[in-house]
Structure 1
Amino acid sequence: MKLYIYEHCPFCVKARMIFGLKNIPVSLQVLMNDDEATPIGMVGKKVAPILQKEDGGYMPESMDIVHYIDTHYGSPLVTGPVNPAIGKWLEANHPAAYPLVLPRNVNGKFAEFATPEARHYFIRKKEAASGSFEELLAHTPGLVKKVSQHLRELEPLIQQSNACNGELSDDDFHLFARLRSLTIVAGLEWPTRVAEYRDNMAKQTQVNLLTSVAQ
């Protein structure tokens, strides 16, 4: 199987996680960010991740990939209930987390931005929707303070370091993907339990954190 991804993408992280959790071999293929033709040719639109299944067919949508792999390869692992409080936390965190992470991605040495054309494509598209990266970066101190507070509020919601609700659930895919994205931001304050969950999930899923390129 082959998984087409962007290295910075949290949706791609979700799809990658299930392969690591189940120790299922998969070939990771990084798409250049300005490559529209390849994903459109596979699934009719520019998206990632895209799974090329063993039968040659293509599947987009991160959680569809997660559930397909989990139910078709070995005994299911994602069997726990979701906690609405995790979903509410993710929703509340997004307005502060997104403008912190977004402008840092293009400087993160990700393969999808290896050419000037791919990097400029990303900047042009994202700035059109979210404003200039320079302006977003100017708000860093206040956003770092706000997200650090969010992380403190998350700590009591995490029941175990290998499953936020005590049993692996969809919440873990959404939550770890968000936390992994945030590791590109320097200066955040990570409470002990949140950091332990972040690090343990990275180890279990075999998905690298971004601390080495934090800015």
Structure 2
Amino acid sequence: MKLYIYDHCPFCVKARMIFGLKDLPVELVVMLNDDEATPKKLIGQKMAPILMKDDGSCMPESLEIVNYVDNSDRKPLLTGKTNPAISDWLRHINGYLNKLLLPRIAQASFAEFATPEARRYFKDKKEASAGRFDELKLHAEGYIKNVNDDLRKLDKLIVKPNAVNGELSMDDIHLFPVLRSLTLISGIDYPSRVADYRDNMAKQTQINLLSSIAV
């Protein structure tokens, strides 16, 4: 199978996670951010991730991909209970996180920005919806303080480093991509349980963190 992705994209990380957790082979194809032709040819619109199955048919939507792959062998891994407190935490931090992340994503050395045109495409699209990046950067210090405060709250919710609620569940699929994205940001203070969980999930899912390109 092939998985068409952007490396920075948390939805793409969700789809990638299930392959790593189940130790299943998948060919990752990183699309240029301004490549509209490829996704439109595969599914009729520009979005990611896109799973191309072995029969050549294509499936969009990260959670549908996760569910399909997890149940394809009739031995699902994501059987644990979810915790409403994790959903509440994610809803809260996602309310402001892009204002901190987007300007940094636009600067970072992701494969989807291999050409100046692809990087400019991302910047123009995101600034149109989120605001000018130079203005967002002025508030970065305050956003980082909010993140550090919120991570201390998350630390109390983590049950085990290999599964946030003690057994793998959809909460892990939603939580790890956010924590991975945060590794792109310098100046974040990670409480011990958050750091252990983040690092353990990176190993389990076979997905690299972004610390090496942090800005």
- The aligned runs of 1:94-113 (5 Å cut-off) are 94-113=94-113
Return the offset for 1:74. Answer: 5.6
1:18–1:69 contact (8 Å) kept in structure 2: yes
1:32–1:111 contact (8 Å) kept in structure 2: yes
Which residue in 1 is equivalent to 2:28?
Answer: 28
Return the offset for 1:96. Answer: 2.9
1:32–1:112 contact (8 Å) kept in structure 2: yes
Deviates further, 176-185 or 93-102: 93-102
Per-residue CA deviations over 1:86-145 (Å, capped at 9, x if unaligned) read: 110001111332111111012221010010110000000000001111111111111100
Are residue 90 (structure 1) and residue 90 (structure 2) matched?
Answer: yes
- The aligned runs of 1:63-212 (5 Å cut-off) are 63-73=63-73, 75-212=75-212
Q: Secondary structure at the match of 1:106?
A: helix
Return the offset for 1:40. Answer: 1.1
RMSD: 0.8
- Structure 2, unpaired ranges of 5+: none
Q: Secondary structure at the match of 1:184?
A: coil
Distance 1:68 1:193 in 2: 30
TM-score normalised by the chain length of structure 1: 0.98
Structure-2 change in CA distance of 1:151 and 1:182 (3 Å) = same
Q: Secondary structure at the match of 1:92?
A: helix
Deviates further, 96-105 or 51-60: 96-105
1:96–1:147 contact (8 Å) kept in structure 2: no
- Using the aligned pairs only, state the percent identity: 60
Return the offset for 1:9. Answer: 0.3
Match for 2:177: what amino acid? Answer: A
Return the offset for 1:73. Answer: 3.0
Match for 2:28: what amino acid? Answer: L
TM-score normalised by the chain length of structure 2: 0.98
Q: Secondary structure at the match of 1:164?
A: coil
1:96–1:146 contact (8 Å) kept in structure 2: no
